[in-house]
Amino acid sequence: MSSKPFYKIVEHTADIGIEVVSPDRNGIFTAAALAMFDIMFGLDTIDRKERRRVSVSGDGPEELLVAWLNELLYVYAVEKLVFSGIAEADLRNTSFSALALGEALDPGRHRVEVEIKAATYHEVTLRQENGWWTARVIFDI
């Protein structure tokens, strides 16, 4: 298991996973999104020129987390936007909304390191222990 400053890579057969930790639940959603784009492109290659409000709904925290990550992947796939920041995060019981900060995909600067197809429900966890929130997500690559 390798690690970056704010997330750990979880090795998984034919896929890749992350584990993120935060003192609050909003931070988990932020950290997971940033970890995903860091794995795909490297956050240091993405400027924060554009803002995009992204909202999802779901029946529980794990479902919201997977929906959030998949919605960001959808925006990337359809609108060719990549993100390196998250602001104004708002987690409710059945919804999550945040402002994603990034820019249009520039193939000259944004080389795909790992092509993530989707966040999966396989082994997804989101829990609180000793005042900290931890989440684990496996991505289909």
Q: What is the CATH number of the domain that holds 130?
A: 3.55.10.10
pTM: 0.94
**Which tops the pLDDT comparison, 5 or 18?**
18
d(CA 32, CA 18): 8
- The verdict on residue 111 lying in a domain is yes
Q: What is the count of structural domains for the chain?
A: 1
Residues 6 or more apart from 79 whose CB is under 8 A from it? none
| Residue 24 main-chain phi, psi, to 5 deg | -140, 160
Mean pLDDT for 49-55 is 97
CB–CB of 25/132 below 8 Å?
no
Mean pLDDT for 14-34 is 94
- The verdict on residue 67 lying in a domain is yes
- The verdict on residue 1 lying in a domain is no
Residues 6 or more apart from 89 whose CB is under 8 A from it? 26, 27, 29, 30, 96, 97, 98
Print the domain residue range for 105: 7-140
- The verdict on residue 114 lying in a domain is yes
- The verdict on residue 2 lying in a domain is no
Predicted local distance difference test score (pLDDT) of residue 137: 97
Question: What is the average pLDDT value for the chain, to the nearest integer?
Answer: 94
Looking at residue 63, the DSSP 8-state letter turns out to be H
- % pLDDT > 70, the chain: 96
Q: Is the pLDDT of residue 12 over 80?
A: no
